Structure 1
């Protein structure tokens, strides 16, 4: 059913929105907690250094991708970070991942923060200190050379000196050891993933405006999978017509084996992977078969897939799509809507890529 047909049928279409600066409004950010905080340089200027090494380098050696700090990057690592605990003794900087144009901090708030202070106060102070360090380095360059030796952001409309970071920040509340381990690995592997994207740009394209039939999507991964002549939908209900759990039936096992065999021969599997039956096929196919995944979560400028899906994209085996509009909000509606879209993608002959973002 097209968007126009759904509107005519009275189905409410709600646009999926993503807030790039998440706040958990239910959470008291002045209380003890563990957070990953991300701050982005204004204009995505690569001021903190450059990534060196290559993706084939051995882990733990100089050949493995890592950030070579600029003067500003070094000052942030060796001077500005320590000031957080100086001003807030109850806060520990557990981990840092500095990248050319952004920084991730893993912060542990061990005790209640002083009255009137919260996580945002800590971040604001850190950003201010880094900005002042940047200004100082600019001034030194001007005095030494007569011209700035650094990339300088445009002056703000107020005429004041430019700030180093974009407004706001992104925070993530960590709960449980499993989540902590995943976040630590994510932070540690940041340079490796960035280098992998640089080495394989065609396999990890980010497109925010992709039209298939009359529907708009955002995409991440190997867009060439949409041109594969054989695209097969993976669609399983939770229960079969006899009321049995589909993924536990012998019929499902046979259908799954047939799909995987077709995929091994070069077909692309297309699915949202919602039901356990669909998830079973996705899990089996992700490592070494071609796959197009649909998801409700929006793909934005800064969105990233999970580690396993990222590596599948890096090898050209995965494309992730998120539709711009989704009808209804219930799990039942989402299941059927995404599977309808998977069917449309399997039979699509017209795909338009708009290079807007």
Structure 2
């Protein structure tokens, strides 16, 4: 990828040294190759001047004052008045890698296959985001009925007056969930936008079916948008096609959410309110 690299390491035997040593060896080798190719240059040590004596400082100050008297400010060209670099800088000077790395052990059945599929699909996802940047940029302070929220996706879905909230009790049998799924798919085929926090198993099942079928959908996120948020694969295609809007009235937090039940109940009420108030004031930044 343009700004990062994914890799899957297969460890066939016990290694005595920490994995970090293996990663650092890879980084060292690629840095060396980058320098040989001319895409990366070693930063030159900064030149340090010897501290001037009091007499030298006085002489420099007198010379500077004399020069300023001889040449008025208006005669100094604009480019010359700009701050000048202390030393030339090679355009390729910089770092190839950030410190550290993120790793994950694949211990469960099916994880390796899913990660291989994820890496194979990475270029396509990047292309989608580049082709539709307006749908993959987080918008802050979107106000609906005065409530500020963060958003990502197609904001025009908020203006659809025909909305239906999706809430499924955890006590429903699978047959009942399937029946509700059929009903929501029918509503979506009529252009109705479905709104849900996608919390319960039934809600997630119906939301998955609706989004896969091309139904316009608004998802309320219980945890907010983390830094560098990337929609999950199911949401990605729908987002690129303008069929999805992600909303959250909550800010992201690294700490465990202690009031999860209250948040879920609040989002369910918010989903219903959005559907029952099509004339609510919508303010975009």
TM-score (norm 1): 0.55
CA contact (8 A) 1:220 1:299 kept: no
Write out aligned runs for 1:278-289 (5 A): 278-287=203-212, 288-289=214-215
The residue that corresponds to 2:2 in the other structure is 100
Q: CA 1:140/1:339 → structure 2, altered by over 3 Å: closer, same or farther? A: closer
Q: Deviations over 1:254-294 (max 9, x none)?
A: 65444332221112111011123322321221121001112
User: SS in structure 2 opposite 1:282?
Assistant: helix
1:207 to 134, 138, 159: 138
1:134 to 34, 51, 54: 34
The residue that corresponds to 1:273 in the other structure is 198
CA distance, structure 1, for counterparts of residue 174 and residue 265 of structure 2: 18
Q: CA 1:257/1:298 → structure 2, altered by over 3 Å: closer, same or farther? A: same
User: SS in structure 1 opposite 2:246?
Assistant: strand
CA contact (8 A) 1:238 1:247 kept: no
CA distance, structure 1, for counterparts of residue 178 and residue 4 of structure 2: 46
User: SS in structure 2 opposite 1:206?
Assistant: coil
User: SS in structure 2 opposite 1:170?
Assistant: coil
1:339 to 268, 273, 280: 268
CA contact (8 A) 1:217 1:323 kept: yes
CA distance, structure 2, for counterparts of residue 261 and residue 332 of structure 1: 30
2:242 to 295, 316, 320: 316
Q: Does 1:125 align with 2:25?
A: yes
CA contact (8 A) 2:224 2:251 kept: no
Q: Deviations over 1:21-58 (max 9, x none)?
A: xxxxxxxxxxxxxxxxxxxxxxxxxxxxxxxxxxxxxx
Q: CA 1:210/1:248 → structure 2, altered by over 3 Å: closer, same or farther? A: farther
Q: Write 1 or 2 for the structure with the bigger share of helix.
A: 2
User: SS in structure 2 opposite 1:171?
Assistant: coil
Q: How many residues align?
A: 232
Write out aligned runs for 1:76-87 (5 A): none
Q: Write 1 or 2 for the structure with the bigger share of strand.
A: 1
Unmatched segments (≥5 aa) in structure 1: 1-98, 153-160, 240-244
From the CA coordinates, give the structure whose radius of gyration is larger.
2
Write out aligned runs for 1:155-166 (5 A): 162-166=94-98
User: SS in structure 1 opposite 2:199?
Assistant: coil
CA distance, structure 1, for counterparts of residue 272 and residue 262 of structure 2: 15
Q: Deviations over 1:95-142 (max 9, x none)?
A: xxxx2222111112333332xx32333223322332333333337999
C-alpha displacement at 1:332, in angstroms?
A: 3.1
CA distance, structure 1, for counterparts of residue 102 and residue 249 of structure 2: 24
The residue that corresponds to 1:227 in the other structure is 159
Q: Deviations over 1:211-270 (max 9, x none)?
A: 33455544333232223222221122223xxxxx26544xx6665444332221112111
